[in-house]
């Protein structure tokens, strides 16, 4: 567990580990070391300006520079080594200059670990009004106050650089699902052009990296074209974007399994916005190293808890008198100290502590899932892990007490 008392991370290029990729001479970027393989699944380690990250890794989402309802110390206590924030939101409020003046996003939010920001492409698509996409970039109105903004690949890089993130994402164009083949192809090719501009604009700094984002919808040919084009650009890692947008688990995993072999094996791979525990397990088996999703945190604010035996809603009356924890096998503070009956009471009473305790439990559950996956890969037993995981999830919640 990280604490605020940890020594400052090494900033000298010489102290960085050798990168698995071919750009060690540059002395810049993040490190990635593959430690073990099990089929297509990979066990690795990222090295950033703010510590290392064991992969496969799940990044809790801290959109507005806070993982909702959790203190940074609680996030670290779950085992999370990297969190995600959103350049779109922070660009609009409080503004990257303000965060830079405070000393960067790590100091701003008191998070000493690694941090990745999304570029804003997805948020412009999903949140902003009146967006206009041109070759140059995207013009949109803020969802906060209607003010007009322009986001270009270069502006997105400048914002993320000012924030001082460990991993920046290239600006991409996301299309809604379903989209026509023409729209999907056009957006994918624009994403490639923007990726080249992003790489040129983002500085080479030790411990700081830039990922490109593969688009192309659910069309394998478009995914192939995009992955090959991006693989030729010296990114520090590659993300799969435009998935988990409504296409369903099977199709998503098919696209993932199709795309990962097209990406450089020595670079980390990040499946954006995914997902349910089942999605993560299948995507790890298909060669993904990094994930983010609002599910554990958002569910925590809607009374939903993840357990090894499936999801439960603590508002359900069956929990009102249940003295047992959410998950008898869970070591999180919520399960160690609080009964379902108490969590039910907090939910019915709309007390903030209910959201706090459920969020902590859910993020802990996700980190525990990732620990299990990492151990299984090292042991060469990912298939066994997947079978046991699926069997237990299918059991459903523990039976009620009489």
Residues of this chain that interact with a second copy (CB under 8 A) are 4, 64-66, 68-73, 93-94, 98, 101-103, 108-110, 320-321, 323, 333, 336-339, 341-342, 344-346, 348-349, 351-353, 355-357
Q: Residue 118 catalytic? A: yes
Cβ proximity of 75 and 109 under 8 Å: no
Closest contact distance (angstroms) between CB of 292 and a second copy is: 18
Residue spans of beta strands (DSSP E) within 50-89: 51-55, 57-60, 82-86
Closest contact distance (angstroms) between CB of 284 and a second copy is: 30
Give the Cα separation of 371 and 76 in Å (integer). 14
Minimum CB distance to a second copy smaller for 249 or for 324: 324
Minimum CB distance to a second copy smaller for 317 or for 394: 317
Minimum CB distance to a second copy smaller for 204 or for 341: 341
The bridge status of strand 51-55 relative to strand 41-48 is antiparallel
Give the Cα separation of 390 and 350 in Å (integer). 33
The residue from 118, 172, 289, 327 that is catalytic is 118
Residue with tokens 């959103």: 86
Q: Please count the residues of the chain.
A: 402
Minimum CB distance to a second copy smaller for 252 or for 332: 332
Minimum CB distance to a second copy smaller for 70 or for 187: 70
What the block records as the tokens of 323 is 């003295």
Closest contact distance (angstroms) between CB of 168 and a second copy is: 21
Closest contact distance (angstroms) between CB of 115 and a second copy is: 14
Closest contact distance (angstroms) between CB of 120 and a second copy is: 17
The bridge status of strand 129-133 relative to strand 138-141 is antiparallel
- With helix as H, strand as E and coil as C, how does 11-28 read? CCHHHCCCCCCCCHHHCC
Cβ proximity of 294 and 308 under 8 Å: no
The residue from 166, 289, 292, 322 that is catalytic is 292
Cβ proximity of 373 and 284 under 8 Å: yes
Catalytic annotation, residues: 118, 292
């Amino acid at each position: 567990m990280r604490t605020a008392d940890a020594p400052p991370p090494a900033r000298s290029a010489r102290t960085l580990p050798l990168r698995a990729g071919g750009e060690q001479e540059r002395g810049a970027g993040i490190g990635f070391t593959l430690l073990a393989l099990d089929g297509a699944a990979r066990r690795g380690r990222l090295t950033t300006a703010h510590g290392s990250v064991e992969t496969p890794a799940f990044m809790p989402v801290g959109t507005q520079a806070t993982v909702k309802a959790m203190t940074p110390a609680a996030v670290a206590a779950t085992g999370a080594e990297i969190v995600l924030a959103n350049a779109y939101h922070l660009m609009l409020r409080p503004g990257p200059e303000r965060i830079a003046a405070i000393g960067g996003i790590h100091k701003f939010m008191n998070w000493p670990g690694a941090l990745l920001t999304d570029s804003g492409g997805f948020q412009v698509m999903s949140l902003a009004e009146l967006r206009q996409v041109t070759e140059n970039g995207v013009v949109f109105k803020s969802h906060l106050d209607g003010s007009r903004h322009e986001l270009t690949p270069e502006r997105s890089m400048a914002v993320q650089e000012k924030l001082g993130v460990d991993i920046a994402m290239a600006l991409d164009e996301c299309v809604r699902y379903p989209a026509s083949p023409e729209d999907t192809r056009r957006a994918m090719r624009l994403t490639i052009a923007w990726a080249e501009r992003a790489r040129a604009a983002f500085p080479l700094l030790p411990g700081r990296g830039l990922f490109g984002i593969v688009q192309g919808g659910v069309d394998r040919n478009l995914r192939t074209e995009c992955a090959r084009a991006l693989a030729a650009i010296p990114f520090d890692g590659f993300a799969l974007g435009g998935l988990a947008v409504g296409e369903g688990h099977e199709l998503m995993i098919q696209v993932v399994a199709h795309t990962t072999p097209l990406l450089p094996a020595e670079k980390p791979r990040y499946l954006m916005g995914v997902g349910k525990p089942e999605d993560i397990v299948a995507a790890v088996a298909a060669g993904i190293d990094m994930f983010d999703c609002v599910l554990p945190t958002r569910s925590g604010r809607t009374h939903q808890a993840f357990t090894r035996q499936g999801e439960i809603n603590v508002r359900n009356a069956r929990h009102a008198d249940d003295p047992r924890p959410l998950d008898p096998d869970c070591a999180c503070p919520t399960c160690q100290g609080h009964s379902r009956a108490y969590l039910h009471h907090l939910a019915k009473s709309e007390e903030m502590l209910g959201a706090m305790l459920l969020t902590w439990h859910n993020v802990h559950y996700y980190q525990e899932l990732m620990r299990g996956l990492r151990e299984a890969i090292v042991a060469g037993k990912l298939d066994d892990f997947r079978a046991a995981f699926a069997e237990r999830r299918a059991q459903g919640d523990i039976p009620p007490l009489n």
